Amino acid sequence: MRYHGVLVDVGGVGVLLAGPSGAGKSECALELIARGHRFVADDAVELTREGELVIGRSSAAIGGHLEIRGLGILSVADLYGPEACAESAAVDLVCRLDPGRADFDRTGLDRESEELLGVAIPRLVLPSPPGASLATIVDAAVRDLRLRRAGTDAAARFAARWQRSSQS
């Protein structure tokens, strides 16, 4: 399956950046790469299912290249070294960038998922207004995902604390 998006390995968590053209997917990926994370694919991510995992790769024709508006096509390996690229990554999180959306989850309690090849992948919908530090937000989302998988859910803990304080 071919998916329109950008795939980056953020500290061992495969993040599929999705959204309409011009939402900032490639620019977010470039900032993540500059922070030391690994680039997998831009524009046309090839997805396959391996057991319960969805694995993303770049197509052979455009592998290792990232398009940035105003700069053109960049070779990630030439700019940041071969270690800045990964052949593939499991898709662990979909971050859908939505520049026009005003109604988004403000608590983190509403968990969404996106089905890819029959596998439910956690999904966040992130506003992407001009000037937003999307890479910082994506990095925080990855850290929060790791914590939730380890049993620490800050949003649920906050909601419980809020409920207790409002009953006092």
**Is 42 among the catalytic positions?**
no
| Proportion of the chain above pLDDT 90, given as a percent | 73
- Alpha carbon distance 132, 129 (integer Å): 6
* pLDDT tens digits for range 80-91: 999 999 999 999
Amino acid at 147: L
Query: Is 4 in the active site?
Result: yes
Does the active-site annotation cover 25?
A: yes
> What is the tally of structural domains in the chain?
1
- Given 2, 4, 149, 157, which residue is catalytic? 4
Amino acid at 41: A
Identify any residues that bridge with 98 across adjacent strands, giving them in sequence order.
127
What is the 8-class DSSP label of residue 82? G
Summarised one tens digit per residue, pLDDT across range 32-71 is 999 999 999 999 999 999 999 999 999 888 899 999 999 9
The catalytic residue among 9, 37, 38, 43 is: 43
Please state, rounded to an integer, the average pLDDT across all residues of the chain. Answer: 92
Q: In the annotation, is 57 catalytic?
A: no
Assign residue 12 the CATH number of its domain.
3.40.50.300
Per-residue pLDDT for 100 more than 80? no
Per annotation, catalytic residue among 9, 25, 65, 92: 25
What confidence score (pLDDT) does residue 102 get?
67
Q: 3-state DSSP call for residue 133?
A: coil
Q: Mind listing the pLDDT tens digit for each residue in 136-167?
A: 999 999 999 999 999 988 888 888 888 888 88
Residues 6+ apart with CB under 8 A from 119: 49, 52, 53, 54
Which residue range is the domain that position 52 belongs to? Answer: 2-167
